[in-house]
């Protein structure tokens, strides 16, 4: 198949923009590209070239286009990190296409239905209340990351999966290394292997004595999953289930604390929490370097040729600030009606745990601002250490104080 040549005006490939002027806004260069070159040539650290998409409609289109694969075995990474291994695909919904993806998704979806997540709400409320009690007992000041935003989703996902919460220090450390863009390759490989070894031991224990949590239920379901498959499923859900929500909770709290008018709107009543959560998801878009797809065949995106095997990066932060789709996209408006943000992706790979994340964020943020009167930052906003060095954006620490 002859691949059409790109228009003469196409700029030379450039690296993915990562420099932020404001810690709560995407890199401004992404907005400029979205206006001037929404499908732009991208250069990768490994020397390869591909495309960067920054427009909302294009990002949604490619996320739903199965001519583009989620298999990262041969993909280039926009940010330097160790090479992806083919065996890392096993059990991981993120990196599989149909029919493998369909098989796993069908097995896991019943555990994450909206009804089931709503049924978990009382347990989430209890966990949140316990952590607020501990904060009040200790008194201000406090770092909300280890005291509140990290342990709540960690405990919930551990209970859902059947992972011992007592092991949290280990898997938190492994997750941090896996998601770092600055850790050396040896350290990342050690964390990857340690986490998989841990999951294999856990799966073996559950085969001997199954419980009714997710991993135990999969073992007794008759699905015939191998230990490697179960370990891959457990690894993905454990890391994604606490890292994403933990960082949204912390970054959402920072955002509301620095936007008093939006915090007032958020606190007007329980009915305000749902739209506020959706707006924070859109506005912050913590998958900061986008989503990677690989062309399965020679295709064309709005006049730009993509050869089979080339990598395309879909910028979720840029798409979620697209003025063609969102009115006043660079303004936070917690009363904004839901409007098809792509913070959870789109298409067959849309986040499996999105309903759980919504329940946790709605309950935790509401209780936090109700339960700690006068909650405020304990340091100037520019002294809050941001996660510029991580694949999932957020804050490393969130020092706060409140009225006793």
> Tokens for 7?
């228009």
Helix (H) or strand (E) holding 153: helix 151-161
Residue 10, pLDDT score: 63
Least confident of 53-57, 148-152, 186-190, 400-404: 186-190
The secondary structure of 91-139 as a DSSP string is T-GGG--TTHHHHHHHHHGGGG-HHHHHHTHHHHHHHHHHHHHHHHHH-
- What is the model's pTM? 0.95
Position 8 confidence tier, pLDDT thresholds 50, 70, 90 = very low
Give percent of the chain with pLDDT exceeding 90: 89
Residue 105: pLDDT band (50, 70, 90) is very high
Percentage, residues of the chain above pLDDT 70: 96
- Tell me: the pLDDT tens digits for 319-362? 999 999 999 999 999 999 888 999 999 999 999 999 999 999 99
Q: What's the pLDDT score for residue 339?
A: 82
User: What is the mean pLDDT of the segment spanning 228-257?
Assistant: 96
Domains located in the chain, CATH noted: 28-401 (1.10.630.10)
Per-residue pLDDT at 270 = 60
Average pLDDT, whole number, for the chain? 94
pLDDT of residue 341: 97
Confidence of residue 82 (pLDDT cuts 50, 70, 90): low
- Helix (H) / strand (E) element for 169: namely helix 168-178
Instruction: Write the Ramachandran bin of 46: left for phi over 0, alpha for psi from -120 to 50, otherwise beta.
Output: alpha
Region 182-192: mean pLDDT is 91
Per-residue pLDDT tens digits for 243-283: 999 999 999 999 999 999 999 999 886 677 999 999 999 99
Hey, CA dihedral for 192, 194, 198, 204, is it positive or negative? positive
* Poorest-pLDDT segment among 5-19, 106-120, 157-171: 5-19
């Amino acid at each position: 198949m002859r691949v059409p040549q790109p228009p003469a005006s196409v700029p030379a490939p450039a690296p993915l923009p990562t420099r932020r002027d404001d810690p709560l806004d995407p890199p401004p260069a992404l907005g400029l590209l979205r206006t001037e070159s929404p499908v732009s040539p991208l250069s990768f650290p490994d020397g390869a070239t591909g495309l960067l998409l920054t427009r909302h409609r294009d990002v949604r289109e490619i996320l739903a286009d199965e001519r583009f694969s989620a298999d990262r075995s041969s993909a280039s990474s926009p940010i330097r990190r160790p090479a992806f291994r083919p065996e890392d695909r096993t059990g991981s919904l993120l990196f599989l296409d149909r029919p493998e993806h369909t098989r796993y998704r069908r097995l896991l979806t019943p555990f994450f239905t909206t009804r089931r997540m709503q049924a978990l709400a009382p347990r989430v409320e209890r966990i949140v209340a316990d952590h607020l009690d501990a904060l009040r007992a200790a008194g201000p000041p406090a770092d909300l990351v280890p005291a509140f935003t990290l342990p709540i989703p960690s405990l919930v996902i551990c209970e859902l999966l059947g992972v011992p919460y007592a092991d949290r220090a280990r898997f938190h450390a492994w997750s941090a290394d896996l998601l770092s863009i600055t850790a050396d390759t040896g350290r990342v490989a050690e964390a990857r292997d340690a986490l998989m070894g841990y999951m294999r031991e856990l799966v073996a224990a559950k085969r001997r004595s199954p419980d009714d949590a997710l991993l135990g239920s999969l073992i007794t379901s008759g699905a015939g999953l191998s230990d490697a498959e179960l370990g891959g499923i457990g690894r993905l859900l454990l890391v994604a289930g606490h890292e994403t929500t933990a960082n949204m909770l912390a970054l959402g709290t920072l955002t509301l604390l620095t936007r008093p008018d939006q915090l007032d709107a958020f606190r007007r009543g329980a009915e305000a929490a749902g739209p506020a959560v959706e707006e924070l998801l859109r506005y912050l878009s913590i998958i900061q370097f986008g989503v990677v797809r690989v062309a399965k065949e020679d295709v064309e995106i709005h006049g730009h040729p993509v050869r089979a095997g080339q990598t395309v990066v879909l910028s979720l932060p840029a798409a979620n600030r697209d003025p063609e789709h969102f009115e006043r996209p660079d303004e936070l408006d917690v009363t904004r009606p839901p409007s098809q943000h792509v913070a959870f992706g789109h298409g067959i790979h849309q986040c499996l745990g999105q309903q759980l994340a919504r329940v946790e964020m709605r309950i935790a943020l509401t209780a936090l601002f109700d339960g700690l009167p006068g909650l405020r930052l304990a340091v100037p906003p520019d002294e809050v250490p941001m996660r510029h060095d991580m694949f999932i954006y957020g804050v490393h620490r969130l020092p706060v104080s409140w009225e006793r």
